[in-house]
């Protein structure tokens, strides 16, 4: 069984690489961002609540996110493993994920950290905003999201680094090159 996280700043390619890695490993990719966007599109109560935070570039509150992840990790399709993208993002969520996994006598195998230059990330996200019409990707919001990432999520990386789980990978370059780096880091 493979239980992984993929972590990195917004625009570092987490979603793209998560899909590629899960295809190779035969496990499920779980993206909290995709789940939130689907709920926003469907105008569910969770989506309405999440949208106000997402539009401001802030994270959805832990209570909402933790409940969603707990429910998702109980579904049958994750029995052979998973790769989480976008969770945990705070040290409180790290503790919650450990509790969720411990309740099933499980633990994480590794944390993939995609590293990338901030100015390159801003350029990537602005390009994505134009091609995908994403209202949440203005330059001001992007820079705010990167600042929030530095302030909060870096602590998550350090918590997992202290546990010896972090595999840092350069997230810039051709898709196949980045995927190959991740696979090598996990070997």
Q: Name the residues annotated as catalytic.
A: 14, 89, 128, 134, 145
Residues comprising the binding site for AMP?
32, 37, 58-60, 86-89, 93, 134, 145
Which residues does 74 contact at the CB level (< 8 Å), separation at least 6? Answer: none
Residues comprising the binding site?
11-16, 32, 37, 58-60, 86-89, 93, 128, 134, 145, 173
Residues comprising the binding site for ATP?
11-16, 128, 173
Contact assessment for residue 101 and residue 164, using Cβ atoms and an 8 Å cutoff: no
Range 47-75 burial, b when 16+ CB lie within 10 A, else e: bebbbeebeebebbeeebbbebbeebbee
Contact assessment for residue 59 and residue 89, using Cβ atoms and an 8 Å cutoff: yes
Contact assessment for residue 72 and residue 64, using Cβ atoms and an 8 Å cutoff: no
Q: Which two tokens stand for residue 50?
A: 């999440």
The answer to whether the peptide bond before residue 88 is cis (omega within 30 degrees of 0) is yes
């Amino acid at each position: 069984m493979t239980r992984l996280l993929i972590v990195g700043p917004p625009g570092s390619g987490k979603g793209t690489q998560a899909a590629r890695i899960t295809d190779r490993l035969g496990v499920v990719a779980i993206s909290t961002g995709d789940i939130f966007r689907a709920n926003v599109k469907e105008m569910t109560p969770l989506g309405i609540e999440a949208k106000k935070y997402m539009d401001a570039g802030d994270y959805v509150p832990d209570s909402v996110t933790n409940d969603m992840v707990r429910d998702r990790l109980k579904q049958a399709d994750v029995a052979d493993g998973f790769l989480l993208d976008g969770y945990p993002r705070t040290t409180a969520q790290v503790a919650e994920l450990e509790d969720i996994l411990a309740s099933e006598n499980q633990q994480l195998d590794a944390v993939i950290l995609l590293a990338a230059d901030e100015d390159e990330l801003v350029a990537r996200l602005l390009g994505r905003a134009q091609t995908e019409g994403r209202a949440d990707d203005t330059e001001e919001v992007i820079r705010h999201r990167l600042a929030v990432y530095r302030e909060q999520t870096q602590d998550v990386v350090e918590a997992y680094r202290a546990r010896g789980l972090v595999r840092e990978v350069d997230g810039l370059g051709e898709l196949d090159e980045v995927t190959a780096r991740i696979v090598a880091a996990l070997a």
